[in-house]
Amino acid sequence: MSARVDVLVVGAGPGGMAAATVAAEAGRRVCLVDGGTAPGGQIWRGYSTPSASRSPHGREFVRWSERLQRSGCAVWQGWQVVDHPAEGVLRVERDGECRDVGYERLILATGARERFLPFPGWTLPGVMGAGGVQALMKAGLEARGRRVVVAGSGPLLLAVAAGLHDAGATVAGIYEQAAAGRLARFALRMLRHPGKLAEGAGYRLKTRKAAYRTGAWVVRAEGKDRVERVTVTDGRREWQVECDWLACGFHLVPNLELPLLLGCSVAGGYVAVDALQQSSVANVACVGELTGIGGLEKALAEGQIAGWAAAGREAQARAMTAEAGRGRRFGAELEAAFALREELRTLADAETVVCRCEDVPYGALAGKVGWREAKLHTRCGMGACQGRVCGAVTEFLFGWDAKSGRPPIYPALMSTMAEGAEETKAAAQRR
Ligand SMILES: Cc1cc2nc3c(=O)[nH]c(=O)nc-3n(C[C@H](O)[C@H](O)[C@H](O)COP(=O)(O)OP(=O)(O)OC[C@H]3O[C@@H](n4cnc5c(N)ncnc54)[C@H](O)[C@@H]3O)c2cc1C
| Minimal-distance CA residue to ligand 1 atom 6 | 43
Phi, psi (5° rounding) for residue 180? Answer: -55, -40
Chain segment 230-276, per-residue pLDDT in tens = 999 999 999 999 999 999 999 999 999 999 999 999 999 999 999 99
Q: Tell me the CA end-to-end span of the chain in Å, nearest whole number.
A: 15
pLDDT of residue 49: 76
Strands 245-250 and 238-242: unpaired
Ligand 1 mutation target, pool 10, 65, 110, most atoms within 8 A of CB: 110
Question: What confidence category does residue 423 fall into, taking pLDDT thresholds of 50, 70 and 90?
Answer: low
Cα gap 302→256, rounded to integer Å? 17
Cα gap 156→131, rounded to integer Å? 7
Chain segment 292-339, per-residue pLDDT in tens = 999 999 999 999 999 999 999 999 999 999 999 999 999 999 999 999
| Minimal-distance CA residue to ligand 1 atom 46 | 11
Report the share of the chain in percent with pLDDT over 70. 97
Ligand 1 mutation target, pool 9, 42, 206, 289, most atoms within 8 A of CB: 42
Quick check: 83 and 409 in contact, CB under 8 A? yes
| Minimal-distance CA residue to ligand 1 atom 35 | 11
In the reported structure, the alpha carbon of residue 177 is separated from the centroid of ligand 1 by a whole-number distance in angstroms of 23
Cα gap 317→301, rounded to integer Å? 9
Question: What confidence category does residue 367 fall into, taking pLDDT thresholds of 50, 70 and 90?
Answer: very high
Ligand 1 mutation target, pool 10, 31, 34, 43, most atoms within 8 A of CB: 43
What domains, with CATH codes, occur in the chain? 3-113+253-335 (3.50.50.60), 116-250 (3.50.50.60), 342-398 (no CATH)
Atom number in ligand 1 closest to CA 11: 34
pLDDT of residue 379: 97
pLDDT of residue 274: 98
Chain segment 104-159, per-residue pLDDT in tens = 999 999 999 999 999 999 999 999 999 999 999 999 999 999 999 999 999 999 99
In the reported structure, the alpha carbon of residue 207 is separated from the centroid of ligand 1 by a whole-number distance in angstroms of 24
| Minimal-distance CA residue to ligand 1 atom 10 | 43
Report the share of the chain in percent with pLDDT over 90. 88
pLDDT of residue 394: 97
Atom number in ligand 1 closest to CA 92: 42
In the reported structure, the alpha carbon of residue 74 is separated from the centroid of ligand 1 by a whole-number distance in angstroms of 20
Q: Is the pLDDT confidence value at 428 over 80?
A: no
Chain segment 145-166, per-residue pLDDT in tens = 999 999 999 999 999 999 999 9
The set of protein residues with a Cβ atom below 6 angstroms from ligand 1 is: 10-16, 33-36, 41-43, 80-81, 109-114, 131, 134-135, 156, 159, 252, 255, 258, 288-289, 295-296, 299, 409-410
Chain segment 207-239, per-residue pLDDT in tens = 999 999 999 999 999 999 999 999 999 999 999
Q: How confident is the prediction for the chain on average, in pLDDT? A: 95
- pTM for the whole thing? 0.95
DSSP letters spanning 272-337: ---TT-B-SSTTEEE-GGGG----HHHHHHHHHHHHHHHTT-HHHHHHTHHHHHHHHHHHHHHHHH
Q: Residue 22: which of 64, 61, 50 has the closest Cα?
A: 64
Phi, psi (5° rounding) for residue 22? Answer: -70, -35
pLDDT of residue 228: 98
Question: What confidence category does residue 431 fall into, taking pLDDT thresholds of 50, 70 and 90?
Answer: low
Cα gap 78→207, rounded to integer Å? 35
Chain segment 163-209, per-residue pLDDT in tens = 999 999 999 999 999 999 999 999 999 898 888 899 999 999 999 99
In the reported structure, the alpha carbon of residue 127 is separated from the centroid of ligand 1 by a whole-number distance in angstroms of 21
Atom number in ligand 1 closest to CA 14: 25
In the reported structure, the alpha carbon of residue 252 is separated from the centroid of ligand 1 by a whole-number distance in angstroms of 10
Q: Is the pLDDT confidence value at 430 over 70?
A: no
pLDDT of residue 24: 98
| Minimal-distance CA residue to ligand 1 atom 13 | 43
Atom number in ligand 1 closest to CA 131: 1
pLDDT of residue 60: 93
pLDDT of residue 302: 98
